[in-house]
Homo-oligomer: A and B are copies of this chain.
């Protein structure tokens, strides 16, 4: 037996958004059925950043993602976030693969938001607003384009170069630079910023809008005016993580929103335990914190694809 080693380029070549959407959805179903598990993330804080260990298991796969946030990295020519995955056979614990998980993280985050949009956005949604046009933005557009007939992407970023880069990466799609207010007036809005202050004002959001609030992933971060949450049907990926570190964490801590006000988690929508959008006038919000079952499901997908392709390095690890 041997262990596959897959670098970022290999992983990137093996991933395709439709597959990722499928396995992310399956992971949530397995979780709601008690066939998947994830203990809480553990945080390791160091002088210049932090690391998170994210273990999880779904049927056929167990593993851990080791991912960091080091905000001073770009000045040294390194990404702020890097991720590595150890994928194990759940039945024997044999390490099946070691792989870069930076691309996995980008894909699964976008896939989960698109799945949320499937249940929460209006079916005929045609405009996609992007607030924060960094790297995650292109994955969000690709994921949503799989599930919706997106006619126009309206992108805002405080750096115009970021919007230009997004448009260049999405050749063939209509990407228009605009203000945050214009982006917010889209059918589906994805907020993808590292903000600690609301970037989306309540008065900008039309009836019928669905918002994927993706940026907030740590205590103190928020992107939405809390008034939006108070008016919206709010769905989370994991209620434990959302209350502590997701979009709702700040309004929960200040008393403007309660954890009990959350309508459902994504797994409940996917399994049909609760309905998603029930009317065209609702405002809906998906609070995405990023969960470990998404990672393990996509890591397993990458492993299967790598074995099929035969293009991979193997080592005698253990």
| A→B interface (CB under 8 Å) | 5, 7-9, 37-40, 42-49, 51, 53, 55-57, 62-64, 66, 68, 70, 73, 76, 78-79, 82-84, 86, 88, 90-95, 98-100, 102, 313, 315-318
Assess whether A53 is in contact with B51, with CB atoms less than 8 Å apart.
no
Assess whether A86 is in contact with B57, with CB atoms less than 8 Å apart.
no
Residues on B with beta carbons closer than 8 Å to the beta carbon of A70? 91-93
Assess whether B90 is in contact with A46, with CB atoms less than 8 Å apart.
yes
Residues on B with beta carbons closer than 8 Å to the beta carbon of A40? 42
11 CB-based A-B contacts, threshold 8 Å: A5-B315, A39-B43, A44-B57, A47-B91, A51-B57, A51-B64, A68-B88, A76-B92, A78-B92, A82-B94, A100-B318
Identify A7's interface contact among B47, B57, B315, CB under 8 A.
B315
Give the nearest-CB partner of A91 in chain B. B48
A220 to chain B, nearest CB (A): 19
Say how many copies of this protein the assembly contains: 2
Which 7 A-B pairs have CB atoms at the shortest separation, nearest pair first?
A68-B93, A53-B53, A44-B55, A39-B42, A46-B90, A82-B318, A53-B55
Interface core residue of A7, A82, A317 (most chain B CB under 10 Å): A317
